[in-house]
Homo-oligomer: A and B are copies of this chain.
Amino acid sequence: MEIQIAAAKINKYAVSESGDTLEVVERPNGGVSVVLADGQSSGRGAKAVSMMVVRKVIGLLAEGVRDGAAARAASDALYTEKGGKVSSTLNIASLDMHTKSIVLTRNNPAPVLIAHDDEVKPLEGESKPIGTQRTLRPLIDEMPITTGLTIAFFTDGLVYAGDRRGKPMDAQSLLSELLKDKTMTAQSIADSLLASAIDLDEGRPTDDCSVVVLKVVSLAGDSVRRMNVRLPINLG
């Protein structure tokens, strides 16, 4: 099998720094984790918050701490640091090679979409951002790694895309439509979801927007691990 993990990310229009932070890290016992946080508001302050949350989580995951405990620790740390006044969303998706499962941990009201082939459903349960309450628990779902499984999650920039213009995003239908084409890679799905959000915002995203897609496919290629980052920069 091959696991494809793809992210696509754009900043709020005319803001140079994204408030979203996303990292993909190796787990000590094999597998990888994707960690995505969206700090409250936008720009530099939001970035500092989401970076702090992601750092906390990946530091703990690296020590072998389980995802749920890492999310709680990040919540407590943010609460303590900011006196309960600043919130952040948090999503963790982990490939656990011991249990041969994917573990999805979230403190984010935005849906997490799970697809088996092109049948898409959001995970159940109401999930709240971390940072404003001491007693917050993440929602945790676990599912076996199986061919045909696709998972998509995102920050609220995607959820509210088009909202102001009265044409809200329907990520679930769009994902189902995209998955009818079996050749779509995780990257092309993430790109399409983000492009659709940008379109709905008429090319000027009203918020930072990050999309993560995981896809499990039967292995077509070699046994090489690959990672690829494309970073548009403006040195002006």
Interface residues, chain A, with chain B CB atoms under 8 Å away: 1-11, 17-18, 21-26, 28, 30, 32, 51, 55, 59, 62, 95, 97, 100, 145, 186-187, 190-191, 194, 219, 221-235
Contact = CB atoms under 8 A, between A and B. Distances in A.
Contacts of A234: 1
Among all A-B residue pairs, the 3 with the closest Cβ atoms: A5-B229, A9-B225, A3-B231
Contact of A226 (B25, B223, B229): B229
Nearest to A59: B59
Contacts of A186: 228
**Copies of this chain, how many?**
2
B221 A225 contact: no
A60 B55 CA distance: 11
Contacts of A28: 51
Contact of A224 (B24, B32, B191, B228): B191
27 contacts: A1-B232, A1-B234, A2-B230, A2-B231, A2-B233, A3-B231, A5-B231, A6-B226, A7-B227, A8-B224, A9-B226, A11-B223, A18-B225, A22-B227, A24-B24, A24-B227, A24-B229, A26-B51, A28-B51, A32-B231, A186-B228, A187-B226, A190-B226, A194-B224, A222-B232, A225-B231, A227-B230
Contacts of A222: 232
Contacts of A97: 233
A234 B216 CA distance: 12
Nearest to A55: B62
Nearest to A6: B228
A53 B3 CA distance: 26
Given A8-B226, A23-B25, A145 B235 contact: yes
B30 A235 contact: no
B231 A228 contact: no
Given A2-B233, A55-B62, A227 B228 contact: yes
A29 B122 CA distance: 35
Contact of A228 (B1, B4, B95): B4
